[in-house]
Amino acid sequence: MIRRLDFAPLDGITRFVFRRVWARRFGGADRIFVPFFSPTHHRIVTQRDLREITRQGAEDLPLVPQVMTRLAPDFLWAAEVLEDMGYTEVNLNLGCPSGTVTAKGKGSGFLAHPEELDAFFDQVFSKVRLPVSVKTRLGYQSPEEFPRLLEIFDRYPIACLTIHARVRPEKYKGPLHLDVFAEALKNSKNPVCYNGDLNTVENVRALEDRFPDLEAAMLGRGAVADPALFRKLRGGPAAARAELQAFTQELYQAYQDFYGQTGTAAQRMREVWFYLIHLFRDPDRLNRPMRRFRTPGEYEAAEAAIFQELELMDHSVGVLA
Ligand SMILES: Cc1cc2nc3c(=O)[nH]c(=O)nc-3n(C[C@H](O)[C@H](O)[C@H](O)COP(=O)(O)O)c2cc1C
């Protein structure tokens, strides 16, 4: 049975402002992963990184910070900084499919260099004090790479191995390799968490039926598309229209306070609505103005029309890619 539900890191979306407002209004995740930060050669925590990983104003949130690097000394430095801030776990990003990241051998690009990855873990685990968890894919090019990768993961005490059941070229779309995930779950010496396309309560229940031994799952886009998804998974109610509207309005206001600009706040809201629109029936006609607005006023009108005219469903439908 799935006992633990994690909120996936979604860079650009589940940042500081979103996390705070979402947790206050809906919540229900056991842990909330902070989108990755990449240590620089200068080993300085930039203002932008600090805003993300600070615990001030987020003391009550169960945050897990994530680091993306292929250099063990940089990872160890970041783990120390995070430990000083009071974190109790640090996550390594081995999943990011972006070309600029993988070209540097980072994110899922690190999976293409198993020997280096082994040496990285060797150095990290000989010194690190914080528990280290890993978020990975099944391979760089092909899921056939996974047994070799698992051999490496198995040599180290990884606190949790979260597996997005795709390979790098598949990004976040298309069929998942559930058969390969099944092997990973069966053979991994470390605890495993499942990730990928859990967008409804039904999806999660079906996963539990298929993998009765699975103890943890991570949900990302589905929880932005349906902010009440974690709550529903715990037996709570679906989002009501007034509740959802209060959430988007508070979020928009919080972005305005944070950025000091309505334009940037509206841009951020466009990214949230990219997913949230799927909670409404037949949204195409009103999704167009939401995707194309140019001014905050146009954004506000697009949102008002959605709440006024579209039927709210109790779960999201459609592909959230
Ligand atoms: C816009 C976006 C940003 C993401 N940012 C991160 C990130 O910072 N770190 C990470 O490990 N994964 C990141 N991911 C991957 C998600 O954490 C997650 O693995 C993916 O969305 C699949 O899970 P889902 O189907 O539940 O959304 C991102 C995905 C998206 C779509």
pLDDT one-digit tens code per residue, 18-49 = 999 999 999 999 999 999 999 988 889 999 89
Indicate which atom in ligand 1 lies nearest the CA of residue 36: 8
Q: Can you tell me which residue has the tokens 């989108």?
A: 35
Query: What is the 309 CA–ligand 1 centroid distance (Å)?
Result: 31
Does 117 score more than 80 pLDDT? yes
Which residue lies with its CA nearest to atom 8 of ligand 1? 35
The CB of 97 under 6 Å from ligand 1? The reply is no
- The tokens describing 34, both together, are 């902070």
DSSP readout, 97-148? Answer: --HHHHTTT-GGGGGG-HHHHHHHHHHHHHH--S-EEEEEEEESS-GGGHHH
The CB of 10 under 6 Å from ligand 1? The reply is yes
- Please choose, from the candidates 196, 180, 193, 107, the residue with its C-alpha nearest in 3D space to the C-alpha of residue 148: 180
pLDDT given at position 28: 98
Query: What is the 310 CA–ligand 1 centroid distance (Å)?
Result: 28
Phi, psi of 251 (to 5 degrees): -65, -45
pLDDT above 70 covers a percentage of the chain that reads: 100
- How far the first Cα of the chain sits from its last, in Å, is 27
Phi, psi of 304 (to 5 degrees): -60, -40
For 215-270, what is each residue's pLDDT tens digit?
999 999 999 999 999 999 999 999 999 999 999 999 999 999 999 999 999 999 99
Tell how far CA 111 is from the center of its chain. 19
pLDDT given at position 224: 98
Does 320 score more than 80 pLDDT? no
Give the span between the Cα atoms of 85 and 88, in whole angstroms.
Answer: 9
Query: Residue 25 is inside which H or E element, if any?
Result: helix 16-25
pLDDT given at position 40: 86
pLDDT given at position 188: 98
For 126-143, what is each residue's pLDDT tens digit?
999 999 999 999 999 999
Average pLDDT on 186-210 reads 98
Give the DSSP letter of residue 260.
S
pLDDT given at position 239: 97
pLDDT given at position 41: 82
Average pLDDT on 175-200 reads 98
pLDDT given at position 321: 72
Give the span between the Cα atoms of 195 and 138, in whole angstroms.
Answer: 11
The CB of 260 under 6 Å from ligand 1? The reply is no
Helix (H, G, I), strand (E, B) or coil at 172: coil
Average pLDDT on 81-102 reads 97
Query: What is the 187 CA–ligand 1 centroid distance (Å)?
Result: 25
- Please choose, from the candidates 188, 181, 226, 186, the residue with its C-alpha nearest in 3D space to the C-alpha of residue 207: 181
Task: Give 7's pLDDT tier (boundaries 50, 70, 90).
Answer: very high
Query: What is the 8 CA–ligand 1 centroid distance (Å)?
Result: 6
- The tokens describing 129, both together, are 């004090």
The CB of 199 under 6 Å from ligand 1? The reply is no
Give the span between the Cα atoms of 30 and 212, in whole angstroms.
Answer: 20
Does 271 score more than 90 pLDDT? yes
Give the span between the Cα atoms of 280 and 306, in whole angstroms.
Answer: 8
Does 294 score more than 90 pLDDT? yes
- Please choose, from the candidates 117, 106, 137, the residue with its C-alpha nearest in 3D space to the C-alpha of residue 37: 106
The CB of 222 under 6 Å from ligand 1? The reply is yes
pLDDT given at position 133: 98
Region for residue 9 given its phi and psi (left: phi exceeds 0; alpha: psi -120 to 50; beta: otherwise): beta
Give the span between the Cα atoms of 82 and 75, in whole angstroms.
Answer: 10
Task: Give 209's pLDDT tier (boundaries 50, 70, 90).
Answer: very high
Indicate which atom in ligand 1 lies nearest the CA of residue 91: 11
Give the span between the Cα atoms of 47 and 35, in whole angstroms.
Answer: 15
